């Protein structure tokens, strides 16, 4: 989407490891079937931090199969905004509409896409990581298929939380969790909390959280975890069994990606229980297959979200079933992204859940 009318705008672009630049780039122009959105609020995500610290990993260095783009790329894939221009052939969206943008880029033709698993697309990418611009810019042009309308009672800053909340929502939906099941969540960072909020909206009444950081234990408590374990002091396996009639939990959501935590979680799971991996691991880990065989346990992965999850999350927020406001621990401006956003999330991780960047946001 490189066509422009000569005008420029401010954007935060990722050039490479520890190289984030606040710079002027061309304003993208709207083509058929697209809209131009003025981003309002943009969340900074753990995957953005991974790219900044050790990337490019997710960001393409050879042309992405769908976007054709490579770094430098505009960051920002968790965002809300207001439509400021509609392209030819767009009838169901209008200037002024408030939206949350679903950032998955997929080809629509591969086997996974044909099975409706666009999140597993063999060529997949992300707006804000793989091209097509990103939320951390004054304007972005996206296809209408990415747009989700925000109801009147969902403010734009909450709209920026729909993406991370959808990760938690999808994880729960794709898992075998059913009402009444006991659950263990490993890690109460942003994704652990998103899983917790989804579980509560679906009626979970026994949520155990295992978290080392004192501050993050407090966040878990505030968000309504029923039991909080500190793996540096508590015997997680023993405690989970005690809390669940000696059997262990039904489902584990691994939102930490730490070997010792996974080892304990396997043994804290009841027979035929399931461990769901939501975490992005920094390196390979080991599992002991016999622990799965003898108890018929299962291990499964979940990735981002499917089409439909965004709408369900927006509906749950609008209906008051999820109140994610307290996830926001900081609000900064576009020119402060590296210093007050990335560096704060890296150096003051325990005190932060979600930092939002104000681009064009009011409410």
- 237 CA to centre of own chain: 28
Question: Of 58-66, 112-120, 286-294, 310-318, which part binds Zn ion (CB under 5 A)?
Answer: 112-120
**Of 121 and 276, which CB lies nearer to Zn ion in the complex structure?**
121
Q: Which of 49, 58, 110, 237 binds Zn ion (CB under 5 A)?
A: 110
Question: Of 31-39, 100-108, 261-269, 304-312, which part binds Zn ion (CB under 5 A)?
Answer: 100-108
**Of 8 and 116, which CB lies nearer to Zn ion in the complex structure?**
116
**Of 120 and 280, which CB lies nearer to Zn ion in the complex structure?**
120
**Of 41 and 106, which CB lies nearer to Zn ion in the complex structure?**
106
Q: Is 113 in the site for Zn ion (CB under 5 A)?
A: yes
**Of 11 and 121, which CB lies nearer to Zn ion in the complex structure?**
121
* Shortest spacing between CB 123 and Zn ion, in angstroms: 6
* Count of residues near Zn ion by CB under 5 A: 5
Collect all residues with Cβ–Cβ distance below 8 Å to 118 and sequence separation of at least 6: 104, 106, 108, 112, 124, 306, 307
Question: Of 27-35, 90-98, 108-116, 238-246, which part binds Zn ion (CB under 5 A)?
Answer: 108-116
- 219 CA to centre of own chain: 18
Q: Which of 19, 85, 107, 218 binds Zn ion (CB under 5 A)?
A: 107
Collect all residues with Cβ–Cβ distance below 8 Å to 275 and sequence separation of at least 6: 251, 252, 254, 262, 265, 266, 269, 297, 298, 299, 300
Q: Is 85 in the site for Zn ion (CB under 5 A)?
A: no
Beta bridge partners of 73: 14
Q: Is 117 in the site for Zn ion (CB under 5 A)?
A: no
CB 252 within 8 A of CB 276: yes
By CB under 5 A, what part of segment 287-326 binds Zn ion?
none
* Shortest spacing between CB 107 and Zn ion, in angstroms: 4
d(CA 266, CA 93): 48
Eight-state DSSP code of residue 7: E
By CB under 5 A, what part of segment 121-160 binds Zn ion?
121
Collect all residues with Cβ–Cβ distance below 8 Å to 109 and sequence separation of at least 6: none
**Of 85 and 107, which CB lies nearer to Zn ion in the complex structure?**
107
Tallying the residues shown for the chain, one arrives at 363
**Of 111 and 151, which CB lies nearer to Zn ion in the complex structure?**
111
Helix ranges restricted to H, 212-283:
214-222, 236-243, 259-267
Residue 144 CB neighbour total at 10 angstroms: 17
**Residues that bind Zn ion in the complex, under the rule CB under 5 A:** 106-107, 110, 113, 121
């Amino acid at each position: 989407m490189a066509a422009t009318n000569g005008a420029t705008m401010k954007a935060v672009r990722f050039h490479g490891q520890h190289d984030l630049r606040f710079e002027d780039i061309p304003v993208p122009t709207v083509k058929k079937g697209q809209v131009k959105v003025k981003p309002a609020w943009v969340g900074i995500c753990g995957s953005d931090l991974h790219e900044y610290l050790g990337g490019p990993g997710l960001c393409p260095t050879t042309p992405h199969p769908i976007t054709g783009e490579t770094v430098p790329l505009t960051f920002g894939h968790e965002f809300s905004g207001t439509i400021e221009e509609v392209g030819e052939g767009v009838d169901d969206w209008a200037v002024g509409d408030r939206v949350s943008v679903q950032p998955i880029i997929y080809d629509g033709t591969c086997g996974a896409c044909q099975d409706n698993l666009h999140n597993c697309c063999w060529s997949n990418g992300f707006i804000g990581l793989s091209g097509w611009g990103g939320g951390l810019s004054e304007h972005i042009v996206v296809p209408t298929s990415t747009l989700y309308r925000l109801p009147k009672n969902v403010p734009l800053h909450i709209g920026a939380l729909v993406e991370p909340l959808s990760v938690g929502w999808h994880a729960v939906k794709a898992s075998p969790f059913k009402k009444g099941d006991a659950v263990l969540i490993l890690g109460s960072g942003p994704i652990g909390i998103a899983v917790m909020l989804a579980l509560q909206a679906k009626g979970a009444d026994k949520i155990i959280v295992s978290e080392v950081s004192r501050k993050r234990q407090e966040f878990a408590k505030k968000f309504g975890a029923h039991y909080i374990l500190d793996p540096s002091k508590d015997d997680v396996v023993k405690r989970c069994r005690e809390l669940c009639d000696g059997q262990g939990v039904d489902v584990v959501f691994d939102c930490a990606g730490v070997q010792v935590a996974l080892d304990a979680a396997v043994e804290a799971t009841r027979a035929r229980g399931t461990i769901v991996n939501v975490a992005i691991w920094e390196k390979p880990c080991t599992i002991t297959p016999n622990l799965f065989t003898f108890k018929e346990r299962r291990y499964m992965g979940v990735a981002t979200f499917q089409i439909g999850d965004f709408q369900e999350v927006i509906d749950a927020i609008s209906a008051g079933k999820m109140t994610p406001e307290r996830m926001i621990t900081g609000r900064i401006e576009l020119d402060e992204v590296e210093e007050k956003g990335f560096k704060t999330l890296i150096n003051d991780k325990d005190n932060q859940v979600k930092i939002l960047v104000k681009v064009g946001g009011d409410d």
